[in-house]
Structure 1
Amino acid sequence: MKRILLSIAVIFGTCAFAQEKKSDSTKTKNIEGVTITKQVFKKQSDRLVYDVASSPIAKGNTTFDILKQTPLLSSTDDKTLKIAGKNNVLIYINGRKSNMDAESLAQFLKNTPAENIQKIEVITVPGSEYQVESSDGIINIVLKKKMSDGLNGNMRFSNTQGKYNGSQASFSANYRKDKLGISASLSGGENIEAQTYTLKNSSDSSSNESTGDIDDPNKNIGGYLNIDYQLNDKSNLALSWNTWANKSYNSTVNLFNTIIAPQKEPKYTWSKNKEDARSYNNSLNLNYELKTDSLGSKLNVNASYLNYKKFQYINNMTYNSNINREVLGKSTQLIQDLPQVINNFSGMVDYIQKFKNDLTISVGGNYNKTKTDNDTKNDTFVFGPPPVFDPKPNHFVYDENIYGFYITAEKKFSDKFSGKLGARYEITNSIGTSDNPPSDAEALKRIERNYNNFLPYLSLNYAINDKNNISYSFSSRMRRPSFWELNPVRNKLTDDNYTQNNPFVKAASNYNQELMYMYKNSYFVVLNHSYIKDAITQVPLQGYPKHPNDVVEKNLALRYIRTNFGDKQEMSAMVGIQKTFFKQYWTTNFSIGVQHNRNNGSLDIDPTTGDRFVDQKGNPLTYVNNINSTSILIQTNNTIRLDKAKTWFLGVNFFYIDKQQIELGMLRGLSSLDLSIKKNWNDWTFALNVNDVLRTNIVVIDDYQANGNYNYVHQNQYRRDLTVSLTYNFGNKKLKKVRDIEGASDSIKSRTR
């Protein structure tokens, strides 16, 4: 039910202009008459570095707060982070990807004091050494080192009131003694994700409208355990275990449907769907690190196992009704049993060789073997007369093997000029088989894919002088489909409205270019161009389905098809500022920019069934999106210190996204005003947050086709809510953190979500 409609990823950029005063982007200390000035922000060859330890706003904040104050980073939901508006951002800690799931990671960042952080690195265009799923950027958090042994940790409790009430609690602890380090966390909570939908589609004089609510209760618990042991001065061994479980029982959909067709009485029905689902995600990673010289050269070896299980039972009921919305008799029933089991074995080897002439060579490879098992059952009942029972089981098994190799060379030619050149080569072999495919999808019996990808990378950085820096990056990446996208099941919303996954979806290719200019390490200008080939998205096909045997269905239908939909270009220009004013009382991250989207795609057939869509006269209908759009984008995050003692803080955050063309149509403008107040008292932090104060963060999409088709989506996810939180930090605040290790299966894990 969570994927029963569509997942709308709003891509927006951020940028800004600002008045120029005496630069506060540096922190000045007077030591016995000697003035030492240290840069807070600086640009390196392939990344932007924010020196948190020298920042005037670090004290009293959390890691998440600091991340939102970092140039090019933003958050529109106070849960996820974006780099220049890009959504698929990966979080690394000490150069290794965090093994925590998204929810646990958000809590970890919100509960980790900023005083523990040395610096934050923002990699907008990832290099060849990073696996291809990291196409939209990486945030690397570098923790402080040379800290004493001991125990520390924190506890956090929060309660959120939106349409429904939700709560969450977490506990984490870190222990270090000599060569042994242990880090552990446990968190859990419950909430109800509420949505209200209005869906409209029409063709000729026929129309179909569905309105109603979706309520999705969730209970979850999870955590992680990291054990790091220093074998000797040159080598370390680490074991990491992550786990997460989610239970979503009695999730409901209640939609009232109105169907209008020529020369027929309007038809009214109720779609009342109920879903019980639960999922489990466990991963185990073993890491060995060997330092090979005093310059920093090292060998890294990882071996991982990932097990993911999800079980869904859905009861889709359709009832006859009338204009007064009274429930009459049963019409149809669809019972779906949709289990999915994923097993992955992964290995990864990286070697970094550093030379005295400021040259670094990195080579490595990875191997992933994944098997997904989807033994689905679809039983349809039609309550006559005469009654009809139509069972359609389908056992779909997908096997995938990925081999990856890379090499990069990074060179500092002078104090002003540096560059990085690399390439990655990936081999993908996959086979999808179906023991009992639907009769209208015989092509699903065996789907074999073998393809290779060569992915070059280039990054150049030039420091013109102490105040001006310019850099250029080019990267070619891939986006493989998630495993749930490949499972050929239909997620039914109403009798005539459903989503269709697609095992024929292939990997999309991404080509990114970025030109960045920074002035005084506070002001920046970013020009970006992205070209996406075979973009993976959902496409609405509507009309009267015409099967390969030329039989045409009588009812107007709408199917959201997961597929590769042509090519897409995104171009953006942004200017921004990250600066502190008024003796560190006001810190702002403000940006404004413009984004231009070019879409070029068309679809006229359901690739899983071969169905085409026609109008009442039998004329073929093709969904086309070749519309361009230009949008204004604004993002600002502000922290205002309210007292001299630095204990009270006011937060004012705002974003605005102008209307823009996406794959499903024209997305209307979005905005949100978020306010917060925080009090630091010894080891306690009290906070109050109000999100979407003006209730303007509501998704509305319109789509008009030249053939007369119209599609409309109104999605209210009740973003306005109030959260009260309490955090307590205990123990030795100077504790050395356990190494966070990137699991060999991390790129695979991201495809389970």
Structure 2
Amino acid sequence: MRKIFLIAILLSSSIFATAQVADGYTIHGVVQDSLSQHKEPYATVRLFRKGEIKPLVVATTDASGKFTLHYAKPGTYILQTAIIGKLPTKKELVLDADKVVELGTILTQDAGKSLATAEVVAARPLVKSQIDRLVYSMSDDPDAQTNTMLEMLRKVPLVTVDGQDKITVNGKANFKVYVNGKPNKMMSDNPSVVLKSFPASVVKKVEVITDPGAKYDAEGTSGILNIVTATEATTSGYTVTPTLSWSNLGWGGNIFGMVQIGKLTLSAHGGVNGQNSLRSTTESERELFHDPVNHLLRTTSEFSNRGTYGFGGLDASYDISKHDLLSVSSSIYAGRQKGHGLSSTFLTGNAGTVYSYDNVNHRDSRYHGINTSVDYQHQFGKENQNLTVSYRFSSDLRNNKTLNVYDNLQSVPFVLKDRRIDPDNKSQEHTAQIDFTSPLGENHTLSVGAKYIYRLNRSDNEEYSRLAGTATDFLPDVAQSLLYRHRTDISAGYTEYIYRLKRFSLRSGLRFESSHIRVTYPNGTRVAFSTRLNDWVPSLNLGYNLTDTQLLRLGYNLRIGRPDIYYLSPYVNHLSPEKISYGNPNLESETAHNFQLNYSLFSQKFSVNFSATYSISYNGLTFYSFIKDGVEHSTSGNFLHSKQWSFDTYLNVNPWKSTAFTLNGNLKYSDLKSYRTSDHNYGFSGNFFAMLRQDLPWKLKFGLGVGANWNDISLQGQSSKFKYYFLNLSRSFLEEDRLTVTLNGFNIFNPQQTFNNTTQTAMFRSSTSSVLHGFSRISLGISWRFGKLRAVVKKTARSIENSDVKTGSTSQENGSNMGKSRGN
């Protein structure tokens, strides 16, 4: 009760403070269309110090086109207005002796060629709805200055982050991550790990592309998450921002810098993070319904791990001429995680205990990779007519050593072997692409392009074993070791047409993709094979601006999910004597038909976005389990029939200038069926996130957030419910708020969190209950920005985007080459 009383006092004092009229200057004006003479409601108005690009004050016009700005310091400034479909206006003004400045009427002109969108900056955060995506402006959200990208994604519409940091887009985990329009393997394979370390302060905006058009790869069935850190370059300067953070769960440091030298513009970032040892205890059991002798298998285990992770990136652009731009982007990443576990297993039946044993497990996982791309763009004399040629290379190498040693064997009826596993998994990809875009008259635009991808996955799994309970040397286990190669050549071509007429916009496209797959086994343990897949991929999107602040859009697309090496590798991983896992090299691509209806309204005090999505697939990729000879087998198949209805709501309310309330929620109904395994599961799942942000006296900023996730449905089971809450308090110091100090707390009164998961078929039931100890987190962050920059790195209008691979887990936390859904 005392805590609630203190928070109420803080909020009351803030509201009282914001009600006072601040000393300084007051600027009044009206924004009006130059031809129709209609007032412009909810136009964005920004005040800049002359010669700089960071806005000092941001506001919007009211329903009658009027605006009022307040600022304290005298000087020369630029006032800018921005309205969708209109050319921006700029007006210079001087604040000196007169405390009230009347600007009168500011006239706007029709831009004539902008795609229908609805945008407003009435209060931060900024959300924009376009015909194929939702855009969240990180640069306009003050919380982004002190939080990581993983924390900020909880506020992004159509994106969910659950209690185990699993990320889903549009209710699904099979999405792709891009950085500045380019696919990023580091983030796509490990989004939770990377984004937990990535500072949100260096991100300009996040695009949730739920309706990718024909120019995007057909792969990635739930969409694309595009993180944009840079756009157009303007003048010159530099800036560097180092950030340090510490918490009871780990430490971290990162740095971001930008500089322009003549026509060359550079942007770089890097970071390193450490995770303290986390301890988890797990109780699991497996019940065989029709086997009274080997009826119930129980395991209790304890596991702890620690790790370090580092990353870096460089973006550069060079203006060769007025019409030619060259841009280069590169990123690297590396990490290591070590873990230690102890477990005890008991099998009981109708006659009592059948057998028991203990197990000691050691894991050492290392990984590193690189992504590099080069883009050249030529702008023709005709406006918006351009040609882009791109090349991209990516490489990812992972080694996940595991040592399993058994002890205290009691009446074990089979031969147990200690195992030492040394798997190397490597993926390489080369991509070449060409794109051409040209307007056809005032309302039409045509884009065409072609693409080629060379993709090679390699899996070398060397296994060594010895008889359990002995101290002899480990010897190579040739029967268990496996060498596997999987090559895919993908050729694609597309055409896309866009039509705009006043409030109406249409985008239609058709893409053709041909994939040639070849699988070989260098050690000759299996027969090599190859296959070819051809796919026609249509897409259609319609958008209509009901008013200047309301957008209605309807979309359809066909998406493809190609299995990666963690779905495909046939290597058999002995997780325990009673459980094995392996991939399926005979998998084909999954296809999903997606239909979406979206409504967006953005006004000065109230913003909302509603989305309804229906997705259907008849050959979905899925992991499943079955019992054979008393052993649980886990593998993957191409036979999931799924129907999913998803409803998403985003709400932002700004009752006062210093107060903002955000709600982000999802409700999904899933109907999953497999005729091959006779499994059928259905039910509701959902999540919500709510946050109150309040500016307090003395330049303090306070945030309070709560959220929950429940009942994520899979073919054979469902995952745990989870609730969380957090608080943060920050203050900026020095001129232009260059130094920021932040204090964060996450579930601070709940140091333990339990996660339950169940799997059930007609033959067996399996359940786990894991308790994560030390779950509460208290962290302190310090960020300091120095230097002045009036430029950010230019990007070509088109670039390479590979979004086709459906990935399994790359962290291999259970020592398996079988994967989980991305984001675990």
Counterpart position of 1:699:
755
Equivalent residue runs for 1:431-470 within 5 Å: 431-436=518-523, 444-470=526-552
Counterparts of 1:651 and 1:750, CA distance in 2: 36
Are residues 75 and 33 of structure 1, via their aligned partners in 2, closer, same or farther at CA, if it must alter by over 3 Å?
farther
Offset, 1:513: 0.8
Which position in structure 2 is the counterpart of 1:667? 719
1:407 corresponds in structure 2 to 495
| CA distance in 2 between partners of 1:179 and 1:386 (Å) | 66
Match of 2:375?
287
2:60 pairs, out of 13, 23, 27, with 27
Amino acid at match of 1:530: S
Matched residue, 2:820: none
CA distance in structure 1 between the partners assigned to 2:805 and 2:722 by the alignment = 31
1:258 aligns with 2:342: no
Distance 2:567 2:334 in 1: 21
Give me the whole-angstrom Cα distance separating, in 2, the residues matched to 1:652 and 1:289.
45
Q: Which has the larger radius of gyration?
A: 2
- Say whether 1:315 aligns with 2:397: no
Q: Which residue of 1 aligns with 2:201?
A: 111
**In the superposition, relative to structure 1, how do residues 335 and 107 fare at CA in structure 2: closer, same or farther (>3 Å)?**
closer
1:427/1:452 contact within 8 Å kept: yes
What is the rounded CA distance, in whole Å, between the counterparts of 1:579 and 1:78 in structure 2? 29
What amino acid does structure 2 have at the position aligned with 1:564? N
Residues 213/24 of structure 1: CA separation in 2 closer, same or farther (3 Å cut)? farther
Residue 778 of structure 2 is matched in structure 1 by 722
Q: What amino acid is aligned across from residue 296 of structure 2 in structure 1?
A: S
| 1:474 and 2:556 correspond | yes
Q: What pairs with 1:585-664 in structure 2 (closer than 5 Å)?
A: 585-602=658-675, 623-643=677-697, 647-664=699-716
Bigger shift: residues 470-479 or 633-642 = 633-642
Rounded to whole Å, the distance in 2 between the matches of 1:467 and 1:741 is 27
Q: Distance in 2 between matches of 1:69 and 1:255?
A: 39
- The 1:63–1:273 alpha-carbon spacing in structure 2 relative to 1, beyond 3 Å, is closer
Q: Residue 245 of structure 2 aligns to a residue in which SS?
A: strand
Q: Which residue of 1 aligns with 2:284?
A: 199
Task: Look up the match of 1:273.
Answer: 361
- Following the alignment from structure 2 to structure 1, what is the Cα–Cα distance between the partners of residues 141 and 201? 20
- Does residue 160 in structure 1 map to residue 247 in structure 2? yes
Aligned with 2:654 (options 558, 580, 589): 580
Q: 1:234 corresponds to which residue?
A: 323
Relative to structure 1, the CA distance from residue 697 to residue 299 in structure 2 (aligned partners, 3 Å threshold; closer, same or farther) is farther
1:513 is the counterpart of 2:591 = no
| Structure 2 runs not aligned, ≥5 long | 1-40, 45-58, 62-66, 69-101, 109-118, 122-126, 811-824
Matched, 1:429 2:500: no
Matches within 5 A, 1:84-99: 84-92=170-178, 95-97=181-183
AA partner of residue 433 (structure 1): T
Asked if the contact 1:688/1:723 (under 8 Å) is kept, the reply is yes
Aligned residues of 1:295 and 1:355 also touching (Cα < 8 A): no
2:337 corresponds to which residue?
A: 248
Secondary structure of the residue aligned to 2:563 is coil
| Higher mean C-alpha displacement, 679-688 vs 256-265 | 256-265
Residues 562 and 806, structure 2, Cα contact 8 Å, conserved in 1? no
* CA shift for structure 1 position 361: 1.2
Query: 1:365 deviation in Å?
Result: 1.9
Equivalence map 1:157-236=2 (5 Å)? 157-161=244-248, 165-191=249-275, 192=277, 194-203=279-288, 204=290, 205=292, 206-236=295-325
Matched, 1:485 2:564: no
Structure 2 distance, partners of 1:211, 1:565, is 34
Distance 1:366 1:466 in 2: 38
Matched, 1:297 2:381: no
Q: CA deviation at 1:125?
A: 1.8
- Whether 1:375 and 2:460 are equivalent positions in the alignment is yes
Structure 1 residues 504 and 320: alpha-carbon distance in aligned structure 2, compared to 1, 3 A threshold: farther
Alpha carbons of structure 1 residues 638 and 222: separation in structure 2 relative to 1, 3 Å: same
Question: CA 1:382 to 1:591, structure 2 compared with 1: closer, same or farther past 3 Å?
Answer: same
> Kindly tell me: are residues 219 and 282 of structure 1, through their superposed partners in 2, closer, same or farther at Cα, counting changes over 3 Å?
same
1:47 to 112, 124, 133: 133
Which amino acid counterpart does residue 560 of structure 2 have in structure 1?
A: M
Contact 2:253/2:271, CA 8 A, preserved across alignment: yes
Taking the aligned partners of 1:384 and 1:270, their CA distance within structure 2 comes to 11
- The normalised TM-score by structure 2 is 0.75
User: Judging changes above 3 Å, is the alpha-carbon distance between structure 1 residues 277 and 712 closer, same or farther for their aligned structure 2 residues?
Assistant: same
Q: Deviations over 1:547-591 (max 9, x none)?
A: xxxxxxxxx3222213334211110224441222222x2212214
How many angstroms does 1:398 deviate by? 1.4
CA apart distance, 1:520: 4.3
Query: Residue 213 of structure 2 aligns with which residue?
Result: 127
Q: What is the CA–CA distance in structure 1 between the aligned matches of 2:213 and 2:722, rounded to whole Å?
A: 32
Equivalent residue for 1:611? Answer: none
Equivalent residue number for residue 346 of structure 1: 431
- Indicate the residue corresponding to 1:677 in structure 2: 729
> How far apart, in 2, do the equivalents of 1:386 and 1:73 lie?
51
1:527-556: CA deviation from partner (whole Å, max 9, x where unpaired): 1111133222321212x43xxxxxxxxxx3
Equivalent residue letter for 2:722: L
Cα deviation, residue 594, structure 1: 2.9
Structure 1: 5+ residue stretches without partners: 1-21, 439-443, 546-555, 604-622
- Residue 27 of structure 1 aligns with an amino acid whose one-letter code is T
Give deviations 1:672-695, integer Å, cap 9, x for gaps. Answer: 222222222221222222234446
C-alpha contact (below 8 Å) 2:495/2:509 kept by paired residues: yes
1:476, distance to aligned residue in structure 2 (A) = 0.6
1:706 partner SS: coil
Equivalent-residue separation in structure 2 for 1:589 and 1:380 (angstroms): 55
Q: Distance in 1 between matches of 2:772 and 2:546?
A: 47
- 2:739 partner amino acid: W
Query: Post-superposition shift, 1:153?
Result: 2.0
CA distance in 1, matches of 2:795, 2:279: 38
Given that residues 250 and 274 in structure 2 are in contact (C-alpha distance below 8 angstroms), is that contact kept between their aligned partners in structure 1? yes
Equivalent residue number for residue 548 of structure 1: none
- Determine if contact 2:146/2:783 at 8 Å carries over to the other structure: no
Change (3 A) 1:66 1:355: farther
User: Cα–Cα, structure 1 residues 380 and 181, in superposed 2: closer, same or farther, change >3 Å?
Assistant: same
Q: Which residue of 2 aligns with 1:356?
A: 441
Change (3 A) 1:185 1:591: closer
What do the CA deviations read for 1:397-448 (whole angstroms, capped 9, x no partner)? 1111111211111110x2221111012211111111224466xxxxx42232
Identical columns (%): 17
Maintained 8 Å contact 1:637/1:652: yes
Structure-1 separation of matches of 2:283 and 2:666: 31
User: Aligned-pair RMSD on alpha carbons?
Assistant: 3.5
How far does residue 663 in structure 1 lie from its aligned partner after superposition? 2.4
> Does residue 534 of the first structure (1) align with residue 588 of the second (2)?
no
1:710 to 1:75, Cα distance in 2 relative to 1, 3 A: closer
Q: Is the 1:99–1:242 contact (alpha carbons within 8 Å) kept by the matching residues of 2?
A: no
What is residue 420 of structure 2 aligned with on the other side? 335
1:383 and 1:75 map into 2 onto residues whose CA distance is 42
Question: Measured at CA, do residues 231 and 425 of structure 1 come closer, stay the same or move farther in structure 2, by a change above 3 Å?
Answer: same
